[in-house]
Chains A and B, each alone.
Chain A
Amino acid sequence: MSQNLIELQDIVKSFEDNSVLNGINLSIKKGETTSIIGKSGGGKSVLLKHIIGLLQHDSGNILFEGRPLSKMKKAERGELKDRFSYMFQGSALFDSMTVFENIALPLKEKRSKMKKSRIREKVRDQLEQLDLGSIGKQYPSQLSGGMKKRVALARALVTDPEIVLFDEPTTGLDPIRKNAVHSMISDYQKKYGFTAVVVSHEIPDIFYISHRIAMLYEGRIIFQGTPEEIYAADNRDVQAFIRGMESRHDELTGLPPRSQGQRRYQEEVARLRQEDAFCVVMLAIESPDQTDREIKYWADQNAMQNFAARMKKHLRVTDICSRYGLNKIMLMLPNTNFEQAHNICEKLAEDMRCSNDGENPFASNSPCFTVTAGISEANAERSLEQVIMDAENSRDTFYEFQMR
């Protein structure tokens, strides 16, 4: 299906006596988001720097589209580099240049000459898209950490790269901004179809946006596969790591993470008697395509947070919910049939409308969000995946609201 764009074979790297990478084998597929997880100081960034050639490996091979980098001519490697973009952990913005100049630099210095007016237009577009329109003339030192990250993201994406390497893009951000950056990466990845490699230790948030996960442990890749596969992996180090990193509650919504939802589903199914059924409701918060993208990402996450907080108030003791994706919440309603589940959803929506009227926190000109709900009945024969797929296919709008 999708071919290996980059392949690392037996990469070894040591700094003096300290060996960091002891034979890395990793393949990165075209058009997918691959995340590299692992302990801090475990060589994740070092690995990423090898891919773009900032560091030279001691031995091993890096293949690009099947051809070894070491056998390429200098000009070829130069051309190849033009297709890459790198977002640094510390943003690495040029602090003696304004935000505008920072973003314009990679365009200005590109080999294929671009007209000045075209560059200006492109940079302005990029600034606008990332909600940075007003700070073009400021210097990086005048910006907050989150803004710097966005400028760095803008600089990485302005050249329309084919491969973008992200080195811990969310470190040091608050939960809303963290999730906003994740959804931004995921959105852009879908929109432009670039291949993304993300180094991160945000578990499980990073699983929501990744197609593939690779885990680095003691200088080797001990696991490669999809997010579903990593939960099922029987490697003890992998399990210990992801269980250890995964907090009991999602930072943004305070809901339990996906893995816990899956565990609870198994438990419920096991407890189920023949004739009983219980319902799974998939809730998704969507913001319709807005012409005004200014606050989209930030507002999306804010909406998610508020919605989850309100929803929790309306749940029964036996109800189980967990965050299932970037903007998805899974709700399990034991001892409830389809009709009852439907009523519960209606009531939920009704209650929310009422609570909104009471508090009236939403301005009339703010963007509109839609919450959709899909209900599906679960029973012992069906796996969670099937149930969820069913629920998602039957989704229906049940609640609309606006946010500042």
Chain B
Amino acid sequence: MKAAELAISPFAATGKFSLFLIGEIGRIAIFFFHGLFTIFTYPFRISNLMDQIYFIGLKSIFVIALTGAFTGMVLGLQGYYTLVKFGSEGMLGPAVGLTLIRELGPVLAAIMITARAGSAMAAELGIMRISEQIDALATMNINPIKYLFSPRLAASLISFPLLTSIFDVVGIFGGFLTGSILLGINSGIYFSHMEAAIVMDDITGGYVKSIVFGALVATICCFQGYYTHTRKEGFGAKGVGKATTSAVVFSSVLILISDYIITSFLL
């Protein structure tokens, strides 16, 4: 009996984990669609949306610009020393531009916003949950998902592409700073080659990514906070801490995984 149990246990564990995973994905999907649809239902809380755009979007600009600048600068530096070996340092512009617009812009911006706003969403909703504020909304006949999640989702869908654009532009000028001003590539060559190499599809692709990341980050972070109380391994303040951690970790990992999947479809 014991031996049989022992033999089965890895399978049982795998099965249990798979069921949990499928269940969790299902719950997240329901949460996401509930939030998405209620964006368009009455009443529209414009001021809540504005608050969230201010918090997720406007307040992130500085961090995004800073990381964008240094990403662009290091790309310019690395790119120059690699390209100069082949005598094609003129291609630095397209290299920096394409890397930023197609890959690094959306991904790094999303990870930065996760760290800044995503963690805050998870912690805020988590605390609202454990202090019964979410229940209080429900008793007032206010749909808590619509009241709390929908504005955050909508604000993310609006802010992520815009922040990504800022990241891209600042990054391109960062590359220009190192490549052209410090290392002496002709600025005309830097920009004209970039202009010639980048097509509209690259830019749309970048936006598609950033919109998907926006939905992903908002959904996972809000989900983790909103359902803090259902976690088995931690309640109260500890639960909120764990929810915040897993919100950031899951969001970041899923950003990279979904980036690969979207890229493979777009190419």
A binds B: yes
Chain A interface residues (CB < 8 Å from chain B): 49, 52-54, 78, 81-82, 84-86, 88-90, 92-96, 105-106, 109-111, 159
| Chain B residues near A88 (CB-CB < 8 A) | 132, 135-136
Instruction: Tell whether, in the assembled complex, residue B43 and residue A109 are in contact, meaning their CB atoms are under 8 Å apart.
Output: yes
| Chain B residues near A94 (CB-CB < 8 A) | 128, 133, 136
Interface residues of B in 92-125 (CB under 8 A from A): 124
| Chain B residues near A82 (CB-CB < 8 A) | 141
Interface residue? B14 (CB, 8 A): no
The residue from A54, A111, A159 contacting B138, defined by CB atoms under 8 A apart: A54
- The docked-state distance in angstroms from the alpha carbon of A93 to that of B43 is 22
The residue from B127, B133, B139, B147 contacting A54, defined by CB atoms under 8 A apart: B139
7 closest A-B pairs by beta carbon, nearest first, are A86-B139, A92-B132, A92-B136, A81-B141, A106-B140, A109-B142, A88-B132
Instruction: Tell whether, in the assembled complex, residue A78 and residue B133 are in contact, meaning their CB atoms are under 8 Å apart.
Output: no
Closest Cβ of chain A to B22, distance in Å, is 20
- The docked-state distance in angstroms from the alpha carbon of A110 to that of B138 is 12
- The docked-state distance in angstroms from the alpha carbon of A109 to that of B139 is 12
Instruction: Tell whether, in the assembled complex, residue A54 and residue B140 are in contact, meaning their CB atoms are under 8 Å apart.
Output: no
The residue from A52, A53, A95, A109 contacting B133, defined by CB atoms under 8 A apart: A95
| Chain B residues near A110 (CB-CB < 8 A) | 141
Chain B interface residues (CB < 8 Å from chain A): 43, 124, 127-128, 131-133, 135-136, 138-142, 147
Residue contacts A-B, CB under 8 angstroms, 18 given: A78-B141, A81-B141, A84-B139, A86-B139, A88-B132, A90-B131, A92-B131, A92-B132, A92-B136, A93-B136, A94-B133, A94-B136, A105-B142, A106-B140, A109-B140, A109-B141, A109-B142, A111-B141
| Chain A residues near B147 (CB-CB < 8 A) | 109
The residue from B124, B128, B136 contacting A86, defined by CB atoms under 8 A apart: B136
Given A92-B131, A92-B133, 7 more contacts at CB 8 Å? A54-B138, A54-B139, A92-B135, A94-B133, A105-B142, A106-B142, A111-B141
- The docked-state distance in angstroms from the alpha carbon of A85 to that of B141 is 9
Closest A residue to B141 by beta carbon equals A81
Closest B residue to A167 by beta carbon equals B132
| Chain A residues near B132 (CB-CB < 8 A) | 88-90, 92
- The docked-state distance in angstroms from the alpha carbon of A109 to that of B135 is 15
Closest A residue to B43 by beta carbon equals A109
Closest Cβ of chain B to A122, distance in Å, is 15
**Contact A105-B140, Cβ < 8 Å, known A90-B132, A94-B133:** yes
Closest Cβ of chain B to A95, distance in Å, is 7
Closest Cβ of chain A to B138, distance in Å, is 6
Closest A residue to B134 by beta carbon equals A92
Closest Cβ of chain A to B55, distance in Å, is 11
| Chain A residues near B140 (CB-CB < 8 A) | 105-106, 109, 159
- The docked-state distance in angstroms from the alpha carbon of A93 to that of B140 is 12
Closest Cβ of chain A to B27, distance in Å, is 16
- The docked-state distance in angstroms from the alpha carbon of A105 to that of B147 is 12
- The docked-state distance in angstroms from the alpha carbon of A95 to that of B128 is 9
- The docked-state distance in angstroms from the alpha carbon of A313 to that of B168 is 83
| Chain A residues near B142 (CB-CB < 8 A) | 105-106, 109
| Chain B residues near A95 (CB-CB < 8 A) | 127, 131, 133
| Chain B residues near A49 (CB-CB < 8 A) | 135
**Contact A52-B141, Cβ < 8 Å, known A92-B131, A92-B132, A95-B133:** no
Closest Cβ of chain A to B228, distance in Å, is 15
Closest B residue to A89 by beta carbon equals B132
Closest Cβ of chain B to A148, distance in Å, is 11
Closest Cβ of chain A to B216, distance in Å, is 25
Instruction: Tell whether, in the assembled complex, residue B139 and residue A85 are in contact, meaning their CB atoms are under 8 Å apart.
Output: yes
- Residue from B127, B133, B135, B136 with most neighbouring chain A CB atoms (10 Å): B136
Closest B residue to A102 by beta carbon equals B136
- The docked-state distance in angstroms from the alpha carbon of A109 to that of B142 is 7
- The docked-state distance in angstroms from the alpha carbon of A378 to that of B132 is 52
Closest A residue to B45 by beta carbon equals A109
| Chain B residues near A93 (CB-CB < 8 A) | 133, 136
| Chain A residues near B128 (CB-CB < 8 A) | 94
- The docked-state distance in angstroms from the alpha carbon of A94 to that of B200 is 46
| Chain A residues near B131 (CB-CB < 8 A) | 90, 92, 95
